């Protein structure tokens, strides 16, 4: 009997340690748009979307430039996840390095998400769509781009039981100068690989058409808040378009 009591005691210590580790987990943050390396003309505001998640609730998202805080968004009732949107007009031209941080309800800060863009004289102007999406040149000179439209299923912060299989669907618009045919894929890019597969085929979509793209996923076995980030690839393997992501909470 004493042996079993000791074993139960040791198990309780392990469970408490696991819970404490979960509670100590820092929030996560990702810069959804604009894409890395985007270029902007002098005088225009740069639209920056920053998504954050935390099991303790996200209290604040901060945007920094040149080591100084330039914008922030706070929530009086911290949600599990939210996306902050900034329209920031820099006061200098050239290469800019932004950092984004998330702060949770317990005061813990995330590691920084980093974004490099070109602004003003040092920038090569890109089409208007480039302020919200990556534009790359594909076959036959096609200027490939894509815009996130909406989450069709599983809104950010949705609670899902451990081990549950679910389907995440994003709606996107083809703003390329060509149709999307065979070989276009949505691919896992970063953060937790929740997908049962690492890539899925994109249904054929005409230029300026809208398409729903679905990925089968599975919730992790351990409690926590998880983010998975995905992005489009053309048949040559080039990344393009807005990043899309899913944020779930495993109770």
- At 63-76, the pLDDT tens digits run 999 889 999 999 99
- What does the alpha-carbon distance between residue 61 and residue 206 come to, in Å, rounded to a whole number? 37
DSSP type of residue 107:
S
| 203/224 Cα distance (integer angstroms) | 33
Q: Which of 24-28, 136-140, 176-180 has the lowest mean pLDDT?
A: 136-140
Q: Return the closest-CA partner of residue 70 out of 40, 41, 91.
A: 91
CA distance 104 to 27: 6
CATH class name, domain 25-124: mainly beta
- Tell me the C-alpha to C-alpha distance, in Å, between residue 239 and each of 37, 76, 77, 135, 160: 13, 37, 36, 9, 30
Greater model confidence, 8 or 188: 188
pLDDT mean over 105-124: 81
Looking at per-residue pLDDT, the higher value among 18 and 3 belongs to 3
Structure token digits, residue 226: 């998880």
Q: Which residues contact 189 (CB under 8 A, 6 or more apart)?
A: 229, 230, 231, 239, 243
Per CATH, 25-124 and 136-250 having the same topology is answered yes
Read off the pLDDT of each residue in 59-65 and give the average, rounded to a whole number. Answer: 95
Q: How much is the average pLDDT of 15-21?
A: 37
Tell whether domain 136-250 is in CATH 3.20.20.80: no
C-alpha span between 231 and 239 (Å, rounded): 7
Express each pLDDT in 168-212 by its tens digit: 999 999 988 899 999 999 999 988 899 999 999 999 999 989 999
* Cβ proximity of 119 and 93 under 8 Å: yes
More confident of the two residues 225 and 121? 225
C-alpha dihedral (98, 37, 80, 197), degrees to nearest 10? -150
Edge-to-edge strands of the sheet including 113-119?
A: 39-40, 113-119, 94-104, 58-65, 68-74
Of residues 68 and 11, more confidently modeled: 68
Q: What residues does each domain of the chain span?
A: 25-124, 136-250
Strand 185-191's sheet: what is its strand order? 158-159, 239-250, 224-233, 185-191, 199-201
Which residue shows structure tokens 């005061």?
Answer: 107
Kindly report which listed range (19-23, 168-172, 240-244) carries the lowest average pLDDT score: 19-23
Q: CA 44 to CA 54: how far, in whole Å?
A: 32
């Amino acid at each position: 009997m004493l042996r079993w009591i000791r074993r139960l005691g040791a198990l309780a210590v392990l469970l408490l340690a696991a819970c404490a580790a979960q509670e100590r987990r820092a929030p996560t943050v990702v810069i959804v748009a604009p894409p890395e390396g985007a270029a902007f003309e002098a005088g225009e505001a740069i639209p920056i979307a920053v998504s954050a998640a935390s099991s303790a609730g996200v209290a604040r998202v901060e945007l920094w430039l040149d080591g100084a805080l330039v914008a922030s968004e706070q929530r009086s009732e911290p949600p599990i996840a939210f996306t902050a949107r900034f329209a920031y007009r820099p006061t200098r031209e050239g290469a800019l390095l932004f950092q984004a941080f998330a702060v949770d309800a317990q005061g813990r800060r995330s590691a920084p998400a980093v974004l490099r863009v070109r602004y003003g004289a040092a920038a090569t102007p890109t089409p208007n769509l480039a302020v919200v999406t990556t534009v790359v040149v594909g076959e036959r000179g096609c200027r490939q781009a894509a815009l996130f439209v909406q989450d069709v299923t599983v809104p950010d912060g949705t609670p899902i039981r451990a081990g549950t299989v679910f389907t995440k669907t994003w709606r996107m618009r083809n703003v390329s100068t060509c149709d999307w045919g065979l070989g276009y894929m949505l691919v896992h890019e970063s953060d937790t690989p929740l997908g049962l597969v690492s890539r899925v085929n994109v249904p054929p979509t005409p230029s300026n058409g809208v398409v729903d793209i679905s990925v089968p996923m599975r919730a992790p076995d351990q409690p926590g808040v998880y983010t998975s980030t995905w992005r489009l690839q053309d048949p040559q393997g080039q990344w393009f378009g807005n990043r899309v992501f899913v944020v779930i909470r495993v109770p």
